[in-house]
Amino acid sequence: MLIDVREPLEYAREHIEGAALLPLSRFDAARLADREGRVIVLHCQSGQRSPQAACKAREDGCGVVELEGGLAGWKHVGLPTIVNPRAPLPIMRQVQITAGSLVVLGTGLGWLVSPWLLILSGFVGCGLMFAGLSGWCGMAMMLGRMPWNRVKAPILGEE
């Protein structure tokens, strides 16, 4: 049984056919308990999050294996995925588009209207530096709550 531990937005955009969704943020190994006799394979985007889920599952006595390289590895060897081009872009791409737009806007307004408006570009730059240093991105949190990013995806155990 293939378990995708990415978030619903990522799953909605692209996933492996037949993979069940159980996001790392809501991972509960108890949801895998009734899958006895099946090999449970965990995967994420690139193989960074699935080890965390595997560790949680093993702590609860559930035997799991990890898909090496995640979804990216799956695609690298030419295996198919289901892609929904209508699903929202990944959050980090939305952050890049929004931050880049604000920097361009602040620079343009600073040049055309008032140098004081360059503060906008500086503020966005500081926010990006903070996100990189801390691992917490307020813009990503805000964008994640936007209506277009509220996707419904069937989460294992919540169907």
The single residue listed with the structure tokens 């898909």 is: 67
8 Å CB contact between 22 and 3: yes
Of 44, 62, 126, 137, which is the active-site residue? 44
Annotated active-site residue 126? The verdict is no
8 Å CB contact between 101 and 108: no
Strand partners, 2: 41
Active-site residue list: 44
